[in-house]
Amino acid sequence: MVRALVIDDSRALRALMGRMLRDLGFEVTEACHGKDALERIREGAPPTIALVDWNMPEMNGLEFVRSLRQDDTYKDVLVMMVTTETECSQMVAALEAGANEYLMKPFTREALVEKLDLLSIEHP
């Protein structure tokens, strides 16, 4: 089973992304901000991929990526920033911090699948 962690402070967006991923065959866990996500990752098996919003309270997406990448235990976790942030400099910052891909909100199921395919993540 491929595991996904959806990190977004919007309950509605977590539900939407979670439903899309479950429909694609993922086992989905949700977190409402970066600190919550790090706790969930440390509690159990790490996800195959983390889909991370940029703007969140407590710990934003960029801070989450940097924290995750400081621990070699999680070097294989793929990270996709899923955000409304469209500035080229922000995309570069996310990728330099260790994000593997970047998906702009709003997005379609097809756009999500395309990004998962780019990351070579198997889904039915």
Is the overall model pTM greater than 0.85, yes or no? yes
Interacting residues of 108 by C-beta distance below 8 A, sequence separation 6+: none
Chain centre to alpha carbon of residue 68: 12
CATH number for the domain running over 3-118: 3.40.50.2300
What pLDDT digit, counting tens, does each position of 22-68 carry? 999 999 999 999 999 999 999 988 999 999 999 999 999 999 999 99
What's the CA gap between 84 and 122, in Å, rounded? 26
Tens of pLDDT, residue by residue over 1-14, are 899 999 999 999 99
Q: Where are the domains of the chain?
A: 3-118
User: Is residue 52 a contact partner of residue 61, using CB atoms and an 8 Å limit?
Assistant: yes
Residues with Cβ < 8 Å from 74, sequence gap 6 or more? 41, 46, 68
